[in-house]
Amino acid sequence: MRLFLFPLLLLGLPLAEIAGFVMVGRWLGVWPTLGLVILSGLVGATLLRVQGLGVLRQIQTEGREGRVPAEAIIHGALIVFAAILLILPGFLTDIFGLLLFIPPVRTLLWGLIGQKVVVRTGYSASAGPADPFGDRPRNRPSSDRTLDLGSEDYHRKSNPSSHWSNGLDRKPDDRG
C-alpha cells in the first residue's frame, strides 16, 4: 500500500501544481500568477529566518538549562520543511508550507507522526558492538571485557621494508 502512495505523490503533486497554475493564471492572469510564485518564495525565506532564529534561541536556552530540546528540534525541522515548501514553485506546496509555519499545526502534526519517531537523548562514545547507541544504564558496569596492557605487554614491531617504519622498532638506548 505504501509503495503505491509514493509514485502517486511523485506524479500527482506536479500535475496538481500545474493544474493550480492554470486555474490561478486564468483567474488572475500570467504576471500576477508569476508574482505570487516569487512572493511566496520570498515569504518562505523570510519566515525561515525569523522563526528559525526563534527556534535556535529556544534550543540554546533548553540546552543551557540541561533539558533535551527534542520538541524545539522537531519544530525547527518542520520550519525548514515549511520554508522549502514555500520556496518551491506551486500553490499546493505554498498552502502546506504556510500551514506548517503555524505552531499549533506543527504540534498537531508532531502528535500524529511523533509516535512512530524515536528521538535519541544521548550517545555514549564507549558503547560496544552489542550496545551501539549507549543504551546501557549509567550505574551498571559494562559487561564487556577490558584489556589492560602495560608497557611490557605491548611491543611495536615495524616492517623494515616499509618507508613508514623510520626506525620505530629501536629501543630508546639505541638512538644515539
Give Cβ neighbours of residue 119 (< 8 Å, ≥ 6 apart): 68, 70, 73, 74
Give Cβ neighbours of residue 169 (< 8 Å, ≥ 6 apart): 156, 157, 158, 160
pLDDT of residue 31: 92
The closest of 143, 145, 51, 53 to 101, measured between CA atoms, is 51
Give 8-48 pLDDT, tens digit per residue.
888 888 888 889 889 988 999 989 999 998 998 898 888 88
What phi and psi, each to the nearest 5 degrees, are found at residue 19? Answer: -60, -40
CA distance 165 to 168: 6
pLDDT of residue 62: 84
Average pLDDT over the chain, rounded to whole? 76
pTM above 0.85, yes or no: no
The full set of domain ranges for the chain reads: 38-116
